[in-house]
Amino acid sequence: MLNFLDKIPYTVLIIFTVMMLLAPAKPMPHVVEKILMLKNGTLHRPMDIFDLFFHLFPLILLVLKIIKDYK
The beta-carbon contacts of 26-34 under 8 Å, at least 24 apart in sequence, are: 29/55, 30/55, 31/55, 31/56
The C-alpha atoms of residue 56 and residue 53 are separated, in whole angstroms, by: 5
**Mean pLDDT, rounded, for 11-33:** 88
The C-alpha atoms of residue 26 and residue 43 are separated, in whole angstroms, by: 20
42 is in which domain, residue-wise?
Answer: 3-70
**Mean pLDDT, rounded, for 15-27:** 88
Total number of domains constituting the chain: 1
**pLDDT at residue 5, as a whole number:** 82
pTM of structure: 0.83
